[in-house]
């Protein structure tokens, strides 16, 4: 069973899929089951049977339809990016320093290094002074 995300509204999870759920089929009420503790708390939700389709399948909290414009619902875990997130500035800066020092160790001048890493020769010089050894 997978949780159904309120993709058009509050982005929360109130229903999970049932055995009837088929991602290739038109979603209907029988494919979804109101989760606990909402069910026990008496939340008012759409009837969980095959006759309930389209915009009737709506979030019991905010009322947004679960299905998107192509009549697909979004499940928890759908489209999770598998690649690493883009590096933040904090990740990049040590890389630049390491790059600068490596080029410096090869005997490159600050102006040449700056052209490679995208810094002014003054900044390159300052980095080498601050982080370099010797
Ligand atoms: Zn919602």
pLDDT, tens digit, 9 for 90 and up, residues 32-90 = 999 999 999 999 999 999 999 999 999 999 999 999 999 999 999 775 555 666 666 66
Answering whether pTM is above 0.85, one says: no
Closest CA to 61 of 24, 10, 121, 1: 10
For residue 44, give every residue at least 6 positions away whose Cβ sits within 8 Å of its Cβ, in sequence order, or none: 60
Q: Which two tokens stand for residue 16?
A: 């999970």
Q: Measured between alpha carbons, how far is 19 from 31 in angstroms, rounded to an integer? A: 7
Query: Which residue, chain included where needed, has tokens 């009737």?
Result: 56
CA 14 to ligand 1 centroid distance, Å:
8
Q: Measured between alpha carbons, how far is 27 from 62 in angstroms, rounded to an integer? A: 19
CA 134 to ligand 1 centroid distance, Å:
61
CA 94 to ligand 1 centroid distance, Å:
42
CA 113 to ligand 1 centroid distance, Å:
53
């Amino acid at each position: 069973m997978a949780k159904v995300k309120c993709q058009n509204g509050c982005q929360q999870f109130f229903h999970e899929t049932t055995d009837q759920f088929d991602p290739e089929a038109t979603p209907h009420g029988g494919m979804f089951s109101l989760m606990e503790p909402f069910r026990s708390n008496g939340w008012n939700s759409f009837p969980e049977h095959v006759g309930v389709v389209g915009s009737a399948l709506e979030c019991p909290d905010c009322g947004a339809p679960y299905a998107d414009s192509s009549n697909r619902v979004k499940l928890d875990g759908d489209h999770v990016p598998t690649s690493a997130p883009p590096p933040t500035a904090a990740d990049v800066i040590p890389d630049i320093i390491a790059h600068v020092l490596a080029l410096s160790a090869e005997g490159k001048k600050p102006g040449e290094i700056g052209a490679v890493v995208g810094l002014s020769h003054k900044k390159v010089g300052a980095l080498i002074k601050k982080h370099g050894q010797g």
